[in-house]
Structures are given as structure tokens and as C-alpha cells.
Amino acid sequence: MTSDDNFKKTRKEYERGILDEKTVAASPLDQFSEWFNNAMECEQGEPNACALATVSANLKPSVRMVLLKGLDDRGLVFFSNYESRKGKDLEAHPDATLLFYWPGLERQVRFEGPCAQISPVESDSYFNSRPRTAQVGAIVSRQSRVVSSREVIDQEYATLERTIGESAIQRPTHWGGYRLIPSMVEFWQGRASRLHDRVRYERVGDSWKIERLWP
């Protein structure tokens, strides 16, 4: 097991930028779009990857990585099997959190708010844009359920692929999108001496209140 000393010695200073509540955009979604474009330019991997935190019916928290696949004035869109653990969590407690972390920019953004399933038309549009292999995978997967082996997964995928052949693939009703409608958004910019910049947007009616938080 890794020594505690290794964790204690892992330390860096954050000096890549600043965040000023006086100059941020009036809308957190506009501010996020600016930061996301920055991340697209300099981050490796998938800058649209984010951690989704949910709470189950018995108030047990859970977190996992998902991919942001849509953003507009209504909120942030990600996709899932509705019968998965996160799907069941969101059915019981719609409130959730999405957290983006871009280490190259020393930035984080946290969204909090209720999630709701997007319209079937929107889900169909995204499903139809996916690679055919991913479409088959969405149908085969019984997400979050126990399976006896990897071979079972591969066999069911191959069987369904042969059965479908060249036919058009319809989105399964158990799979689709969610939209998180933000009620609070916090932007975090790493700063030296752990005195980080934190700017919070809170929804007040149809507008946003912007405040600086202590690190």
C-alpha cells in the first residue's frame, strides 16, 4: 500500500490564472462556455467529462463520470440508461451535482440543480448521431446490473448485431438524456498559498446573484 508520506509530499502551487467576480459574465452558462472553450484548446482527453453526484431513495450518495453532450440556456445535457443506478437515483431525488475539473487550467466548475429527462425527440436526435456500435451497445447494456462474465456481454452484443443486420436502429425507451437545470454554479480558479478564487452564481428568480466565497 502507498505510504502516507507519498500523499503528503504530493503538492503543487496553483498559479495559472485569476478569477474576479467583477469581470465574470452575467450568466454562469456564458462564463462556463468561455471556460469550456479554453479547456477544449489546452486540455487532453475529454474536457466534457464531469463527475455526476446523485442520492438514492435511502439517501446514499453516489458519484460517477459522465460526458456532457449538450448545453443551452436551459441547462446541461448528459445521457444514460434510465434503469441504471443513476437513473433510479434521479427518479427518487432529481437534485444532482455536476463537477468539471480541468487540471491544465487549474479550474473547476460545479453545477447544482434538479435533473429532468429531455424530450424523446431530443434523445432520438442524439441517439441517431451516435456510431452504430454505440447504438447497439446502448440496447444490449443492462447498466448497473450484475453480469456473470465479460463473455456474456460480448456474446449478447454479437448476437444482437447479427440480428439487426443493416436495419435502422431505434433508440430503446430505457435510454435517453437528462438535463440538469442549474440553481447554483460555482467557478473555482486555483491560486497560490491555497487562497483560491471562488465565485458563486445563485439563481434569484430570472436573474443570477454573483458572490465571491472564501477559499
Residue 152 lies in a domain: no
Residue 149 lies in a domain: no
The confidence band for 189, taking pLDDT boundaries of 50, 70 and 90, is: very high
Instruction: Please report how many Cα atoms fall inside a 13 Å half-sphere around the Cα of residue 198, on the Cβ side.
Output: 11
In this prediction the pTM is 0.93
CA distance 93 to 7: 35
The confidence band for 3, taking pLDDT boundaries of 50, 70 and 90, is: confident
| Residue 109 CA: distances (Å) to CA of 50, 51, 61, 188 | 9, 11, 20, 6
- Chain segment 110-154, per-residue pLDDT in tens: 999 999 999 999 999 999 999 999 999 999 999 999 999 999 999
Per the structure, the complete domain to which residue 207 belongs is given by: 9-123+175-213
CB 31 within 8 Å of CB 25: yes
Residue 138 lies in a domain: no
CA distance 158 to 188: 45
Residue 136 lies in a domain: no
| Domain count within the chain | 1
DSSP designation for 172: P
CA distance 1 to 4: 9
Share above pLDDT 70 across residues of the chain, in percent, rounded to a whole number: 100
Q: Cite the active site residues.
A: 194
Residue 46 lies in a domain: yes
φ, ψ for residue 117 (rounded to 5)?
-65, 140
CB 114 within 8 Å of CB 75: no
Spatial CA neighbour of 81 closest among 168, 177, 154, 149 = 177
The confidence band for 84, taking pLDDT boundaries of 50, 70 and 90, is: very high
For the segment 79-99, the average pLDDT, to the nearest whole number, is 98
CA distance 65 to 76: 14
Spatial CA neighbour of 100 closest among 180, 56, 46, 61 = 46
The CATH number linked to 188 is 2.30.110.10
CA distance 50 to 43: 13
Residue 56 lies in a domain: yes
Long-range contacts at 137-142 (CB < 8 A, ≥ 24 apart):
138/81, 138/171, 138/172, 138/175, 139/169, 139/172, 139/175, 141/81, 142/81, 142/83
Residue 4 lies in a domain: no
* Straight-line distance from the first to the last Cα atom of the chain, in angstroms, rounded to the nearest whole number: 32
- Can you give the pLDDT at residue 2? 76
